[in-house]
Amino acid sequence: TFNTAESHILTYGGNNMVTGVIQMNRARVSTVQFGGQYNFPPNCTLTPRQNMNLVSWWVQTSPTSVTVHTNIPVTAVFSYFCVGDAN
């Protein structure tokens, strides 16, 4: 189950290590810092909350953050979901 030492998935309020949003305001890069740290970069999936038309996007992760990149500056919101070995 979640929130146990065996699960390695912490969902306590506010730590944003599993799900959250990334907001971009006329930017090509935006990062959210996790409330804790993973032992290794987690696997994260991004989903735009609006039609992205011809905009390309990709995700980059580190043990402490998730970052969205776009090919052109955009104002957009992305939902993310990350799974990994939480510290």
Helix (H, G, I), strand (E, B) or coil at 34: coil
Residue-wise pLDDT for 61-83, tens only, equals: 999 999 999 999 999 999 999 98
Residue-wise pLDDT for 13-26, tens only, equals: 456 778 899 999 99
The pTM for the full model equals 0.81
Q: How many Cα atoms occupy the beta-carbon half-sphere of 42 within 13 Å?
A: 28
Tell me how far CA of residue 53 lies from CA of 3, 7, 44, 59, 62, in angstroms.
Answer: 38, 38, 22, 18, 28
